[in-house]
Amino acid sequence: MGKSIRVDVEYLTRVEGHGNIVVDVRDGTLRECRLEIIESPRFFEGMLRGRSIFEAQHITSRICGICACAHSLASIQAAEEAIGFVPSEQTVKLRKFLLDIEILDSHILHIYFLVAPDLFGVKSFVPLVETHNTVVRRALRLKKTCNDVCDILVGRHVHPISCTVGGFTKLPRPGDLEKMRNLLLGMIPDLEATVDLVRGFRFPEFERETEYVALVSDDDEYPLLMGDIGSTDGVRLPKRDYRKITNEFVVPHSTAKHTRLSRDSYMVGALARLNLNYSKLHPRAKEIADLFGMNRKVTNPYLNTVAQLVECFHCLYHAVDVVEEFLETGLNYDEEIVVGLNEKQRIPVRAGSGVGAVEAPRGTLYHHYEVDDHGRIVHANCVIPTGQNLRNIEYDMRKLVPEILDRSEEEIQLALEMLVRAYDPCISCSTHFLNVTFVGRENPEGS
């Protein structure tokens, strides 16, 4: 007779959101394994209806306190496409720079604060203050630098101020560019030390072949802000066909919709981007990928954290290149958007439909707006990266559980928690995410 197991985890920390995991193993047979999401709807799409496209990015940035800039950029992209506005080359470069900094900031948060405690064998980041003080100080320095650069560029990182439809209401001055360059260059030693840290981690060994989805492009640039939607199964579609990619549907055990494309599920995020766009990485990032064996298709979801480290190098060096280019060529300050003051700068609106597709830290983010001839949003749809990953996490768990039944209850519990955390899920801005319940062994309390 096989093993029956029951493990209860009331709260899984170090993720954003709330939900449950239910696993039923009886006599060695996995009978049930599902990821239940019980978050209440937040109604942001409803909030957008009737609002001007020029204020939408300030609303949507509140969807997430970590990916605020990505939501702003996706929102702006959708709005501009709906009214037929084409941003300048300078604006596009600065938006790419902004996205670089946000991805860098979010990945550092995940590597150090959310994943590292598991691999150090502690319950949270707090004990590391005593045992690994150098690591803690490094993490805080890296995070602070990202925040400082965002403060200079868009006023603040959480809910950016100056990034808007048409461009930026305030552009960095030469002294600001110099300061941002110096801040970014100062991150390099700490980021190199992070490589040594992650090389010392032992990630769980687990493989599951799945479909990976991310932005793709025909040029040589690692696509984060713009591109078509592609998958490792050969799918390629323009962003306006995002519904054919996400194929959202309702499942009874989750208030969040599930998605699927060519298979039962797919994955978005750093690992997906690397699997699709490795050849376009910055040379130094490619060296880091090669060091970790990430120069091939990787099917271990736990290594999403390593993919994030690789992207940290790409985003840092790409951001430095952008700043140094502007230091050499200068910025055109005539492009600053002075809202409501300069008649020549008023952006004409028209009725239309637009889709924004941006690589947020956790994967491809979609905003779709339909706009009337007054520039008001009459319909909005937002598809969040974690929503796309939920079904893939569930299928990973279904494969993982039978492979680790020979372990103790504590080890199984940790493996499941680490698997969910590897995806860096952002269900909401809550402090806990799920309960894990293995159902199948006699409950001494009779429940």
CATH number belonging to the domain at 55-402, selected among 1.20.1250.20, 1.10.240.10, 3.30.70.20, 1.10.645.10: 1.10.645.10
Of the ranges 48-52, 153-157, 266-270, 408-412, which is most confident?
Answer: 266-270
C-beta neighbour count of 119 within 10 angstroms:
17
Binding site per annotation, positions for Fe cation: 67, 429
Distance of CA 269 to the CA centre of its chain: 6
Rg, the chain, Cα only: 22
* Sequence ranges of the binding site: 45, 64, 67, 426, 429, 432
Report in angstroms the alpha-carbon separations of 210 from 273, 297, 302. Answer: 14, 11, 14
**Spatial contact of 359 and 365, defined as CB atoms under 8 Å apart:** yes
- pLDDT (tens digit per residue) in 289-345: 999 999 999 999 999 999 999 999 999 999 999 999 999 999 999 999 876 544 445
User: Quick one: DSSP state of residue 112?
Assistant: I
User: What ranges do the domains of the chain cover?
Assistant: 55-402
Binding-site residue ranges for Ni(2+): 64, 67, 426
CA–CA gap between residue 323 and residue 181 (Å, rounded): 6
Using the structure block, give the residue that is written with the tokens 């490589």. Answer: 195
Triad 126, 130, 133: Cα angle to 5°: 95
Mean pLDDT in residue range 223-249? 97
Give the pLDDT mean for 348-365. Answer: 96
Higher pLDDT, residue 423 or 445: 423
pTM (whole model) above 0.75: yes
pLDDT category, 176, cuts 50, 70, 90? very high
Judge whether residue 209 has pLDDT over 80. yes
